Amino acid sequence: MSETSQNSRILAIETSCDETSAAVVEDGRTILSNIIASQVDLHAQFGGVFPEVASRRHIEVIHAVVQQALEEAHMGLDNMDCIAVTRGPGLVGSLLVGVNMAKGLALARNKPFLGINHIEGHIYSLWLTEHVDEIEFPILTLVVSGGHTELYLMTDHGQYQHLGGTLDDAAGEAFDKVGRLLGLPFPGGPAIDKLAPSGSATAYKFPRAVMDDGYNFSFSGLKTAVSRQIKHFDKARLPVEDLAASFQTAVVDVLVAKTARAAEAYGVTAVHLSGGVSANKELRETMQTQLPLPVRYPPPILCTDNAAMIGAAAHWHFVNGRRDTLNIDVIPSLQLI
């Protein structure tokens, strides 16, 4: 994909998991609005995202969320150049709500329509930050979220080489599972992030699954090790802070080691972090102190799922002439490449 100076104003919709979000994004870099209706309280009682409940809630709020995104941007649908929506990966029922809404709007107003990959959205969240003018390819981009831990070499807009990914649990999934084991509220990631500074990262020696000299990750052994360690304690007297700190450092160590090695091997200009886990303070700080090149990450609100990042990714497709037909379907296991 080559860069052009063409402008765009995009209404983007994201409903792949448990946030209902709509945004208006200009030229792939300016957020005019970014409304996020989180369902986290709804799912906390189940200790995880309940797919049926998620899709039903998306249906209830999607109209109001889209309306609010347009209102906050002081615009109507007629001002939009394109309607973009997350097509996958994600939960099938949740994706369907967003895709059907976007198709309906595109059809009613005869607007171009684009189905966007959620992972690409996370990658493009960096184009919505103050770093946008400093970005120079090639870049190493690590997507760490509840569903993904993927390392890509990005050589141009839309040009990716997949270097590695998780073989089992995603980093965020490991945080959520360990959070549950520690009796913390869902989602576990932010709760562990908050508690870890009060604990000792060296209290327990949890495994770092570096496996081979490739760029794949594995976190399920780490989760099992935490679970085994917990069995040594009376449930009421769990050293939660020390366990959280030791677990978090084990995750961060592996993510940093592999990212640093790839950054050196591919001679990139910078490392980009994105996805929910990139909000993690220890991950951000360790990457910045240990890597000899710029490490960039989005503000917390753009780390977790939001529609603005979908609008940012859609911009590059739109200005390069891509248009999708309204016949496209959701793809729950959509790959980036």
Residues that bind Zn ion (CB under 5 A): 145, 305
* Closer residue to Zn ion in complex, CB, 310/319: 310
Per-residue binding letters, 2-41, with ligand KG4 (x by CB under 6 A): ---------------x------------------------
Q: Is residue 88 close enough to count as binding ligand KG4 by CB under 6 A?
A: no
Q: What is the residue whose two structure tokens read 């967003």?
A: 98
Q: Could you tell me if 293 and 270 are in contact, meaning their C-beta atoms sit under 8 angstroms apart?
A: yes
Q: Is residue 188 close enough to count as binding ligand KG4 by CB under 6 A?
A: yes
Render 276-330 in DSSP notation, one character per residue: GGGG-HHHHHHHHHH-SS-EE---HHHHS--SHHHHHHHHHHHHTT--B-TT---
C-alpha 107/C-alpha 326 separation (Å) is: 8
User: What's the closest the beta carbon of residue 71 comes to Zn ion, in angstroms?
Assistant: 25
Q: Is residue 120 close enough to count as binding ligand KG4 by CB under 6 A?
A: no
C-alpha 43/C-alpha 291 separation (Å) is: 37
Work out what residue 277 binds among ligand KG4, Zn ion, none; the CB cut-off runs from 5 to 8 Å by kind: ligand KG4
Beta strand 19-26 with 9-14 is antiparallel
DSSP 196: G
DSSP β-bridge partners for residue 113:
83, 324
* Closer residue to ligand KG4 in complex, CB, 8/145: 145
Sheet holding 270-274, edge to edge: 159-165, 149-156, 139-144, 270-274, 295-296
Return the range that interacts with ligand KG4 (CB under 6 A); candidates 73-81, 172-180, 289-297, 310-318.
172-180
Q: Which of 115, 164, 275, 311 binds ligand KG4 (CB under 6 A)?
A: 275
Return the range that interacts with ligand KG4 (CB under 6 A); candidates 123-131, 154-162, 183-191, 326-334.
183-191
Interface residues with ligand KG4 (CB under 6 A)? 17, 145-147, 172, 175-176, 187-190, 193, 275-277, 279-280, 304-305
